[in-house]
Structure 1
């Protein structure tokens, strides 16, 4: 798989508050690109739905997140889904358990949310679930693979398409090994590999700490960050190069999912430079 193919088909994660920034650069983004909209605790459903509508109106495909433990009731989930499909043409969503240790309603995890049947009845056609190349913080490795496989099977049996979106990582070798194991587990669904867009090194380290991502000196060096320049900015060039090299000669359904921690415009600048690099 060519590195340029990974970049050209990249999807993006954009918060509701960053929709104006997305609108300002919309002409630089491939029409139809999937835009993932996180479920943030400081925002209500109206803000999330407004973001999804704006994404659709800009010519992109909205993919709102559903945070199971933050949803207060079956009725609240149904109401959100009905509005998302009717008002914003939503056909795909990304389901996560969410951070709260105690659920606000009846959903302890994303599997419980999928199991309601409300997604397919509302008209959702694709359901994203999380992948964890560095392991899940609350599960053993074996449990993690079992849960991921079960969720993908349940989604498929309900007539929807599974999509796996991974947490971002700094070590392409770890991601490639995880992809090998994923396929060995018999899970052949499309995968989007989370990758941070260019940002200051302290900002990347802060997000890594928040998300439980390994960011030791040795891991950062494999990403292309030298300990001698911790106050600089880093982009994912080395990571994407190594990922593409590891996927060379395969037709695996793998793409990138970009987290624009340093800003959407800066991430697009990087994508454009990367395409032109070495005459690509």
Structure 2
């Protein structure tokens, strides 16, 4: 399961350069309602940084397209999320892809099943979106799929690997390039072990490791509960959070520094993906500070 890194460089040069720091080639994400926040943070973000636009309830297609267009207009690379179970029809997906590719030059998407327990339309999972043929029809070049270093509450671990291999094969079969983006987590051991197993299974695709941006501790734990992320006392203590004191904020310094030490050439192409949790400026400031210190 190997990919030609030059092909990835044609989409974005970050995947061709050797990584000198975990701050190299990071990506961010935003919601469709954070246009003003992105404008404020833009001077702190490196040109051509990849910024994902999420697919959340309560947003309109117009809002999502406007967000992707702003990402492009500010000199960054837009990636749009596609939430399978939130799509009400194949026509909705077709129209959205037509607009973001034409109006924002989108060539990268990230596909997920989504949170709803029941589908709002014809798509139950991300594989069905890939198999629909709509992505390649609209000129999408790179397709991101999810990775779960700490597992998934509703899917057995071995089944997660099987689904990943199916999705990677489906992406390649349609002439597109795959990318894996992981759920955010606090546990360096779980992340390193997962990347090690990924490579041992012969899955040699670029990986973006999801880490939480700096945020209030209560906010971080709230997102962890909502996303099913493990947050045991021992793991949080390693991260720098004490459950006996939920005041203040925390950043991913310890986690990223551990990944810096432990992820080497044998782990393949690995970069960071920051989940800002509504704090784009703080996340951009953090990654710049990390780069300056390392």
In the superposition, the TM-score normalised over structure 2's length comes to: 0.91
Corresponding position of 1:59: 75
Corresponding position of 2:229: 213
Counterpart-to-counterpart distance in 2, 1:238 and 1:26: 26
| RMSD of aligned residue pairs (Cα, Å) | 1.6
* Contact persistence 1:205–1:215 (CA under 8 A): yes
Corresponding position of 1:114: 130
* Contact persistence 1:220–1:226 (CA under 8 A): yes
Counterpart-to-counterpart distance in 2, 1:234 and 1:165: 22
Structural mapping, 1:242-261, within 5 Å: 242-250=258-266, 252-261=268-277
Corresponding position of 2:111: 95
Counterpart-to-counterpart distance in 2, 1:249 and 1:128: 22
* Contact persistence 2:30–2:278 (CA under 8 A): no
Shift of 1:145: 0.2
Pairing 1:20–2:36 present: yes
Corresponding position of 1:271: 287
**Residue 192 of structure 1 aligns to a residue in which SS?**
strand
The alignment covers a number of residue pairs equal to 278
* Contact persistence 2:44–2:281 (CA under 8 A): no
- Deviating beyond 4 angstroms after TM superposition, the runs of 4 or more aligned structure 1 residues are 1-4
Shift of 1:137: 2.0
Gaps of 5+ in 1: none
- Alignment counterpart, residue 94 of structure 2, candidates 71, 78, 82: 78
Structural mapping, 1:1-280, within 5 Å: 5-250=21-266, 252-261=268-277, 263-277=279-293, 280=294
Shift of 1:3: 8.5
Counterpart-to-counterpart distance in 2, 1:203 and 1:230: 10
**Residue 288 of structure 2 aligns to a residue in which SS?**
helix
